[in-house]
Every structure is written in C-alpha cells, then in structure tokens.
Amino acid sequence: MPATNTELQGRFVVAYVANGGNATNAAKAAGYSLRTAGKAGSKLVRNPHVQDAIRQEQRRLLHSDLATKALGVLKSIMENEEAPAGARVDAAKTVLDRAGLMAPRAVVGGDDNVPLTQMSVSELRKVIASGESEVLRLQAELDALAIPGEVIPAD
C-alpha cells in the first residue's frame, strides 16, 4: 500500500488509481462514509502527501503488467490493416519513442526527465526553484558583462 498518513488514505489512493481517478467512488471504496465521500475525496486529492502517494501508485501500476498490455495493444493496432492509417502511424511512433529510437521531446527540468504532468507537487516545486536559481545565475553573469551606463532591457 502507498505511503500515506493513514491506512484509510492508503486505501483511497489504491482505489483512486484503480478506478481511473474518481475521488468520490475511491473514498467510498476506501471506507469513508457514503454521506461524506464526495467531500473527503475532493479534499484528499488536494493533499500534497496523498498526491505523492497517488503518483507512486501510478508508477507501481505502470511497472506491473500494464506496460506489457499497452505494448500489446499498440502492436495489434500497428498490425491491423483495417485500422486507420493515422492510428497505425501513431502507434508506431509511440513504440519507437518508448524504445528510445526517436528524438526525445524537450522536457523541462525534473529528476530523470519525468514529464511535468507526471511530477508530484514537491517535484514541481523543485523544478521551479531550480529554474529561479538558474535565472538569478544568468542575470548575475549578464550584470558582470554589462558596460557601465549601458541599459540592458529586462525582456
């Protein structure tokens, strides 16, 4: 079970990921009161600790047989002569991309080049802090190169 503050939160996280992100149903399945499940689920998905646990559970699920099944679906689309050409091309591009045979997409910061959409709140805060530090460093370099009396536009 994912690391959370309570066992109830851990059950919520597992149910939330399993049901595709329905917070109310996940709260009910986890054991929250039927009367308060909607409010509890909404509050839980905004909790940074629970958000981190949701990301961990998503990663765990992706590293199970789900990735193998996804590749099987892509393969069947690519090999299906009756599938639309665009779907077949998209499936082929996805397979090549996952195999590392396509040019990587630009990803902004983060550990292990995780796309921003897959980062936890704490990971996103680290990316922002790193970017702010880099801006300050570059500004200091620019200031050191400035000629006295010269005005350098801000943007």
Residue 116 sits in which domain range?
107-147
Contact 72, 141 (CB under 8 A): no
Indicate the number of domains in the chain: 1
Please report whether residue 140 resides in a domain.
yes
Which residue did the predictor score with more confidence, 55 or 119? 55
Please report whether residue 83 resides in a domain.
no
Q: Can you give 47-71 as a three-state secondary structure string?
A: CHHHHHHHHHHHHHHHHHHHHHHHH
**Which pLDDT score, from 0 to 100, does residue 124 have?**
84
Assigned token pair, 3: 């690391």
Please report whether residue 97 resides in a domain.
no
Other Cβ atoms closer than 10 A to 144 = 7
What span, in angstroms and rounded, lies between the C-alpha atoms of 153 and 129?
Answer: 24
Please report whether residue 40 resides in a domain.
no
Assigned token pair, 138: 């570059």
Nearest to 142 by CA among 155, 129, 131: 155
Chain segment 107-139, per-residue pLDDT in tens? 555 455 677 777 888 888 888 888 888 888 888
**Which pLDDT score, from 0 to 100, does residue 119 have?**
81
Please report whether residue 12 resides in a domain.
no
Nearest to 64 by CA among 97, 30, 18: 18
Please report whether residue 25 resides in a domain.
no
Please report whether residue 70 resides in a domain.
no
What span, in angstroms and rounded, lies between the C-alpha atoms of 131 and 135?
Answer: 6
Chain segment 62-101, per-residue pLDDT in tens? 888 888 888 899 999 999 999 999 999 998 888 888 777 7
**Which pLDDT score, from 0 to 100, does residue 57 have?**
92
pTM over 0.75: no
Q: How confident is the model at residue 148 (pLDDT cuts 50, 70, 90)?
A: low
**Which pLDDT score, from 0 to 100, does residue 75 have?**
92
**Which pLDDT score, from 0 to 100, does residue 110 have?**
45
Please report whether residue 54 resides in a domain.
no
Chain segment 18-51, per-residue pLDDT in tens? 999 999 999 999 999 999 999 999 999 999 999 9
